């Protein structure tokens, strides 16, 4: 096993020393505005706003019941939100009001109090943009199908130009936005806004969030696809558990994990890297991180296709037409190719094991597995489910639902939700 090989890129060796006197990596928390005011205050405020978003119009006593917070806490938060203009009196009649005394003030979100944008980057040639209001309703959308630039400054430029076009189409200025979220298929330090092991020739630890933020003058947050899809699930899915995981299977494997209503980020902002969970089994192709036994090295389409198509000698995953390779794999599977179907079966079994480990470890109410190339669900889904069923502890399995589905269309929605999180959490962003 060659897991001791150096990783692609090196944090200290490939980045310019922006702050040579600091021991912390530049581009980290020390370089960005402090965005974590008192945690309990942030959580309570976000809880109140989410309850209003889901149940409006609501009264203060409704909010006490919905959030479990004390009357004084609700009062303070509501007063703060009214003063900021995020809440307004509901226009709906005050249902349930008795004939005596003053009618209770019913509250709702002032949806137009803030607008945010989400950007979803898909390899190799698709970018989604959207603008949503404070309640998360879509105001404008744009999708471009140009190849993603392979250099950091050019990628930032493509994002800026797309956002400018989107704002124009909606009759808005970019300065009308209170925040922007960007989702990218890479290892992302969301706290620093930096991209590790990015696609193409982008330098390691490229500070994409800061570069876009400087050009637009709007607060920018960056995260990977797994976390953005988990946010989309938390904010926009019908069932809203506080404990769930979203697993993405595409060129690689990603995951976003919520526990107690909070995305698990870890101290690095890089938690949830299921794709680099070690299987203990060497894969025929090395993972982008340098190890040989990562889950992604077995089941990520960039590598799975090489194994299935007998192209193991093609060492570098880029450039590589993953869609064409995926189509070839699926065609051979449909023809009954024994080698290809065995590769897909094994991929499903390994994914099922990994997801069973997630269930046994953190006990989510729901695990959603999303295949970027939907046709693979037919081949990898059944062995995945069998493996999951066999390896999840029965009492845990009884409380965890597993959903396997195709399609990855709400990345920009999750990215916009990231920007909304900032507003819901605290008054450290400019409002429109």
Residues near Zn ion (CB under 5 A) are 276, 287, 289, 291, 294
Structure tokens at 59: 């009264």
Q: Is 171 exposed, middle or buried (0-12, 13-18, 19+ CB in 10 A)?
A: exposed
Structure tokens at 389: 């069923």
Smallest separation, CB 252 to Zn ion (Å): 8
Is the preceding omega at residue 142 within 30 degrees of 0, hence cis?
no
Q: Please list the residues that pair with 143 across neighbouring strands.
A: 128
Instruction: State how far the Cα of 299 lies from the Cα of 312, in Å rounded to an integer.
Output: 14
Among 153, 165, 354, which Cα is nearest to 252's? 354
Smallest separation, CB 302 to Zn ion (Å): 12
Given the complex with Zn ion, which of 87 and 295 has the nearer CB atom?
Answer: 295
Instruction: State how far the Cα of 69 lies from the Cα of 61, in Å rounded to an integer.
Output: 10
Smallest separation, CB 278 to Zn ion (Å): 8
Smallest separation, CB 231 to Zn ion (Å): 23
Smallest separation, CB 288 to Zn ion (Å): 6
Given the complex with Zn ion, which of 50 and 286 has the nearer CB atom?
Answer: 286
Smallest separation, CB 296 to Zn ion (Å): 6
> Alpha-carbon torsion 298, 304, 306, 309, what sign?
positive
Cβ pair 185, 222 in contact under 8 A:
no
Smallest separation, CB 300 to Zn ion (Å): 9
Given the complex with Zn ion, which of 276 and 298 has the nearer CB atom?
Answer: 276
The alpha carbon of 432 is separated from its chain's Cα centroid by a whole number of angstroms, namely: 25
Given the complex with Zn ion, which of 115 and 294 has the nearer CB atom?
Answer: 294
Q: Strands, DSSP E only, in 12-65?
A: none
**Would you call 115 helix, strand, or coil by DSSP?**
strand
Given the complex with Zn ion, which of 294 and 404 has the nearer CB atom?
Answer: 294
Which residues neighbour 187 within 8 Å (Cβ) at sequence distance 6 or greater?
Answer: 195, 196, 197, 224, 270, 273, 289
């Amino acid at each position: 096993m060659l897991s001791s090989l150096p990783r692609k890129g090196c944090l200290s060796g490939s980045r310019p020393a922006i702050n040579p006197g600091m021991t912390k990596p530049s581009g980290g928390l020390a370089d960005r505005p402090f965005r974590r005011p008192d945690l309990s205050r942030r959580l309570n405020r976000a809880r109140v706003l989410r309850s209003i978003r889901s149940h409006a119009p609501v009264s203060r006593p409704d909010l006490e019941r919905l959030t479990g917070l004390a009357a004084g806490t609700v009062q303070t938060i509501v007063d703060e939100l009214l003063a900021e203009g995020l809440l307004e009196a509901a226009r709906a009649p005050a249902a349930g009001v008795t004939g005596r005394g003053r009618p209770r003030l019913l509250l709702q979100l002032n949806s137009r109090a803030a607008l945010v944008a989400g950007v979803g980057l898909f390899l190799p040639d698709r970018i989604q943009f959207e603008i949503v209001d404070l309640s998360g309703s879509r105001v404008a959308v744009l999708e471009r199908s140009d190849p993603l630039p392979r250099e950091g400054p050019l990628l930032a430029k493509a994002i800026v130009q797309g956002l400018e076009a989107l704002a124009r189409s909606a009759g808005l200025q970019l300065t009308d936005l209170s925040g922007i979220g960007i989702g990218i298929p890479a290892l992302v330090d969301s706290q620093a806004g930096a991209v590790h092991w990015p696609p193409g020739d982008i330098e390691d630890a490229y500070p994409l969030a800061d570069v876009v933020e400087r050009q637009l003058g709007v607060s920018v947050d960056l995260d990977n696809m797994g976390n953005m899809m988990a946010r989309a699930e938390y904010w926009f899915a019908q069932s809203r558990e506080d404990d769930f995981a979203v697993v993405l299977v595409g060129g690689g494997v990603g995951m976003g994990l919520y526990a107690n209503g909070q995305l698990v980020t870890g101290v690095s902002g890089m938690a949830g890297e299921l794709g680099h969970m070690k299987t203990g089994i060497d894969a025929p192709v090395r993972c982008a991180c340098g190890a040989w036994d990562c889950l992604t090295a077995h089941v990520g389409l960039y590598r799975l296709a090489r194994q299935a198509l007998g192209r193991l000698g093609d060492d570098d995953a880029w450039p590589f037409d993953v869609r064409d390779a995926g189509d070839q794999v699926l065609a051979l599977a449909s023809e009954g190719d024994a080698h290809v179907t065995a590769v897909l079966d094994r991929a499903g079994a390994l994914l099922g094991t990994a997801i069973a480990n997630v269930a046994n470890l953190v006990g989510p109410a729901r695990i959603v597995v999303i295949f970027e190339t939907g046709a693979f669900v037919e081949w990898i889904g059944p062995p995945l489910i069998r493996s999951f069923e066999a390896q999840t502890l029965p009492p845990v399995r009884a409380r965890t639902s597993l959903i396997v589905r195709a399609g990855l269309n709400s990345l920009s929605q999750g990215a916009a939700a990231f920007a909304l999180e900032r507003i819901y959490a605290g008054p450290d962003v400019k409002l429109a």
